[in-house]
Amino acid sequence: MYDLTKHFLADKKQILSKIESVLNRGILEMGEEVEQFEENFKKYCGVKYCVTVSSGSMGLLLALKSFNLSKNDEVITVSNSDIPTSHAISLVGAKIKWIDIKANTLNIDEDIIEKNITKNTKVILPVHMFGNPCKMSKIKSIAKKFKLKVIEDACLATGAEYENKKIGCLSDCSVFSTNPGKILDGIGPGGIITTNNKDLYNKLLQLRDYGRRERPKKWPVKSYIVGYNSKMSTINAAVLNIRLKKLNEYIDLRNRNAEIYKEILFSKKIKFQHTLQEAKSAWRNFTIRVKNRDKIFDKLNSINPLVKLSYIPPNHMDKCYKNIKNNYDLRITEKTSSEIINLPCHQYMTPNNIKDLSRNVLRLVK
Ligand SMILES: Cc1ncc(COP(=O)(O)O)c(C=O)c1O
């Protein structure tokens, strides 16, 4: 969610020269840059295994698929996420159990997970909303107690931290998006799955590549399980390698920007997204909650089109789920979704850009 031309120009020379060398070599699928990126990203996260995929959405789907969920299995998640989170659960044929969020963090309410677990629950799928880590210590201990898997939707949280560890090494697996505009982004759709589990890793490698265990050097090539074509392009991985070197710098600038927003916007009429003491957010956006949101948003968006509303409607109220019986208690999800405005917080914003936008927010909120 920022000016992608500016982003390209920041590393133009390196990106063009890498693209040229990849094109000259002619290995556009699963080239060496893909493996290099997987190596680099797993080191970045402090995790054992990393599998690149074609998008964050596919990453979620493959992660769920790898746990062999069947029709009556339930996945506990939130409804205030981007719609692919819920779609991935529906596409593997499992049941979505949306539970409510905490208004201050905008993340899954870890205190109500346990009472929502049934004999059919198999997975907890927390989403680090807008880059803000969930209470992973509690989520992991509940998962351990009930023998559930945890898949983190970290699509907005690349580079975020929990208890001084990068998101990506904490649970059964974590899924990131590298779609253009994400915190770490390439030049087309892309995604990453990280895990410390070797069996899961091997399964994911097959699921992303037609069920194969090796790339076809010589035919016949065997397909061991029914899989997808969900590979990352070599050019995309090459660009991600360049930008990964700057990811910590991006995160620090985003954190600096968030602090400037907090200082200027501090007011009884504006609520901020709370970051847990043990966490460091990646600040995909600086999310505020205000009354009279729609009016304020329209004006702000006309001043700065990077001011966004996301994600509305909540997943359970979206058209594609209209046939699901709505007996969920999602009061906080519904209330906050009518209050949220996402302000840009990216690394190319200067303190003055933030001050200008904040002044406009204050003028409209009063
Ligand atoms: C929370 C969340 N999950 C999943 C996705 C899907 O990622 P992708 O767009 O790479 O498929 C997104 C995309 O924005 C997202 O915000």
Q: What is the pLDDT of residue 217?
A: 77
Name the one residue in this structure whose structure tokens are 């009930």: 146
Question: Which atom of ligand 1 is closest in space to residue 310's alpha carbon?
Answer: 16
Sheet bearing 340-344, strands edge to edge: 271-272, 285-289, 340-344
Write out residues in the chain with pLDDT < 50, as ranges.
Answer: none
Question: Which atom of ligand 1 is closest in space to residue 191's alpha carbon?
Answer: 10
- Residue 205 exposure: Cα atoms within 13 Å on the Cβ side: 18
* Phi, psi (rounded to 5 degrees) for 279: -125, 160
Token reading at 85 = 């989170």
The rounded Å distance from CA 139 to ligand 1 centre is: 21
> Residue 341: which H helix or E strand, with range?
strand 340-344
| Helices vs strands, H then E, count in the chain | 12, 13
* Phi, psi (rounded to 5 degrees) for 24: -65, -35
Q: Is 64:185 a contact under the CB 8 Å cutoff?
A: no
Nearest CA to ligand 1 atom 8: 56
Nearest CA to ligand 1 atom 14: 82
Nearest CA to ligand 1 atom 16: 82
> Is pTM beyond 0.95 here?
yes
Question: Which atom of ligand 1 is closest in space to residue 178's alpha carbon?
Answer: 10
> Residue 195: which H helix or E strand, with range?
strand 191-195
Residues 221-258 pLDDT 10s: 899 999 999 999 999 999 999 999 999 999 999 999 99
Q: What is the pLDDT of residue 271?
A: 98
Q: What is the pLDDT of residue 118?
A: 97
Q: What is the pLDDT of residue 242?
A: 98
Best of 91, 156, 315 for a ligand 1 pocket test (most atoms within 8 Å of beta carbon): 156
- Name residues contacting ligand 1 (CB within 6 A): 55-57, 81-82, 84-85, 127, 153, 155-156, 177, 179, 189, 191
CATH numeric code, 4-244: 3.40.640.10
The rounded Å distance from CA 363 to ligand 1 centre is: 33
The rounded Å distance from CA 326 to ligand 1 centre is: 24
Q: How far apart are the C-alpha atoms of 84 and 191, rounded to whole Å?
A: 13
> Residue 334: which H helix or E strand, with range?
helix 331-337
What number of other Cβ atoms are within 10 A of residue 263's Cβ?
Answer: 11
CATH numeric code, 247-365: 3.90.1150.10
| Domains of the chain by residue range | 4-244, 247-365
